[in-house]
Amino acid sequence: MILPGSTLGILGGGQLGRMFTAAARTLGYHVIVLDPDPHSPAAHFADRHIVADFSDQHALEAFGKECAAISTEFENAPAQSLRFLAQFCTVRPGAEAVAISQNRISEKQFFTTHGFPCARYAVIQSRDDIAPAIHQIGLPAIIKRSQLGYDGKGQARVNTTDEALRAFDDMGAVPCVLEELVPLQLEISVILARGADAQTAVFPVAENQHCNGILDVTLAPARIPDNLAEQARHIATQLAERLDYCGVLAVEFFVVAGGRLLINEIAPRPHNSGHYTLNACMTDQFEQQVRTLCGLPLGDARLLSSAVMVNLLGDLWDASVPPLQKIGEHVLTCPQAKLHLYGKREARPGRKMGHYTVMDAKIEHALALALDIKSTL
Ligand code: ATP
Ligand code: MG
């Protein structure tokens, strides 16, 4: 067990790193953040900020030697860097699980090899693979770059072979997957924490609504039948087992016709769709990340109140009005709403600047209140 008073490290200083840092410091740990951005949101809360690239070996060595344990807040931190850090301290999740999830090709191969359901796909390494891929998958389809995509970036819907060729070129002719366009009934996610001793705590299933490929609203619990929720939690637990996973894992699912589940993707970290846990669960996903990292017993993941989370994107930051005035007024005046802002200096369209969560005993009331606030923004 790594006890409070020790120093923990977080690779990546975005909002997820910030919330990890807050949880770790609440439990009495010191935190060092490594991130190249001198104004990274996590650095505000950390004891120390190493401003360096994620693959800077000198910086990583110093970081690894100063920390008792290190976790990551995004899957695009090179798995190579995690492997390197593991020479010096505990690293959770391990590089292998992160490597699988940071590449859509290896991720999908992992799903199919182990019998986990996912959408049909074909691998595209070069232009020549496009016509056979379309022949196999059909149209319309989605082409996604295998690495470094997020928030719907790095993917395009395609209706013709020409569109697929153009999309492939636009993405820089890097390896991609062509995925069947599935008729979505609903999107859900399961987040769980799994300790080194295989003890697992699964959060309730969340229901996710996206807008322009970016998560917009999350409802917890998801409005789905109990048996479907159980099935999703079971698949996520099995996935974590197969990965021999230690840490917080997020599994995104599509629900298609007939209540069938397909895994969309996994994230080896806390997830935007789990932000509601900060206010609505007995233990939140970031505290679980600290607990799994340090080998502490897991907290209870139970939901204390139905909750609806709404993301606040940079689009709302209007130069003509002091941006926080509008948000402050409309969110803070609702006594059932909790506001979280990430302290980012610069707002850009589509950039996640904060979120709020509305709680009520009845999910439909929480949703109505949350959407009321959203419409005033
Ligand atoms: P994020 O980082 O937000 O998870 P991402 O860039 O990794 O997003 P995906 O999760 O693959 O991308 O896709 C984003 C959204 O696009 C999905 O949540 C879903 O709404 C839609 N989408 C992706 N793949 C498919 C598909 N095969 N069929 C239908 N819709 C899809
Ligand atoms: Mg996704």
Instruction: Phi first, then psi: give them for residue 159, nearest 5 degrees.
Output: -110, -20
The predicted structure's pLDDT at residue 279: 98
Whether residue 151 has its Cβ less than 6 Å from ligand 1: yes
Q: What is the CATH number of the domain that holds 20?
A: 3.40.50.20
Which residue's CA is the nearest one to ligand 1's atom 27? 181
Q: What is the CATH number of the domain that holds 165?
A: 3.30.1490.20
Determine contact, residues 159/227, Cβ cutoff 8 Å.
Answer: no
Q: Which of 141, 159, 180 is the last residue of a domain?
A: 180
The verdict on 194 and 157 lying in the same domain is no
Q: Which of 159, 180, 201 is the last residue of a domain?
A: 180
The verdict on 152 and 198 lying in the same domain is no
Task: Show the domain range for 205.
Answer: 184-376
The verdict on 173 and 191 lying in the same domain is no
Residue for token pair 């021999």 = 244
Q: Which atom of ligand 1 is nearest to the CA of 149?
A: 6
The predicted structure's pLDDT at residue 321: 67
The verdict on 14 and 141 lying in the same domain is no
CA distance 102 to 99: 5
The predicted structure's pLDDT at residue 22: 98
CB atoms within 10 A of CB 332: 12
The predicted structure's pLDDT at residue 329: 86
- Per-10-residue mean pLDDT, the chain, length 377: 98 98 98 97 97 97 98 90 98 96 96 98 98 98 93 91 97 96 97 98 98 96 98 98 98 95 97 98 99 98 98 86 78 96 92 97 98 94
Q: Which of 71, 91, 111 is the last residue of a domain?
A: 91
pTM listed for this prediction: 0.96
**Domains: count for the chain:** 3
Whether residue 184 has its Cβ less than 6 Å from ligand 1: yes
The predicted structure's pLDDT at residue 59: 98
Question: What would the two tokens of residue 253 be?
Answer: 């699912």
Q: Determine the 3-state secondary structure of 325 from DSSP.
A: helix
**How many Å lie between the centroid of ligand 1 and the Cα of residue 120?**
14
Do the domain assignments include residue 102?
A: no
Testing ligand 1's pocket by substitution, the residue of 107, 190, 254 carrying the most ligand atoms inside 8 A of its CB is 254
The verdict on 63 and 151 lying in the same domain is no
Do the domain assignments include residue 58?
A: yes
CA distance 134 to 297: 48
The verdict on 69 and 149 lying in the same domain is no
CA distance 164 to 152: 16
The predicted structure's pLDDT at residue 323: 67
The verdict on 245 and 191 lying in the same domain is yes
CB atoms within 10 A of CB 144: 23
**CA-based Rg of the chain, rounded to a whole angstrom?**
20
The predicted structure's pLDDT at residue 77: 83
The verdict on 163 and 292 lying in the same domain is no
The verdict on 131 and 209 lying in the same domain is no
Task: Establish whether the linkage from the previous residue to 93 is cis, with ω within 30° of 0.
Answer: yes
Do the domain assignments include residue 352?
A: yes
Length of the chain measured in residues: 377
Name, in order, each residue with C-beta under 8 angstroms of 334's C-beta and a sequence gap of 6 or more: 358, 369, 372, 373
Closest C-alpha among 59, 56, 75 to residue 17? 75
Distances (CA, A) of 134 to 22, 26, 159, 254: 47, 51, 10, 22
CA distance 8 to 296: 14
The verdict on 174 and 193 lying in the same domain is no
Q: What is the CATH number of the domain that holds 190?
A: 3.30.470.20
Name, in order, each residue with C-beta under 8 angstroms of 190's C-beta and a sequence gap of 6 or more: 202, 203, 205, 206, 232, 233, 235, 236, 250, 251, 253
Question: What would the two tokens of residue 51 be?
Answer: 């401003």
**How many Å lie between the centroid of ligand 1 and the Cα of residue 363?**
25
The verdict on 308 and 240 lying in the same domain is yes
The verdict on 223 and 356 lying in the same domain is yes
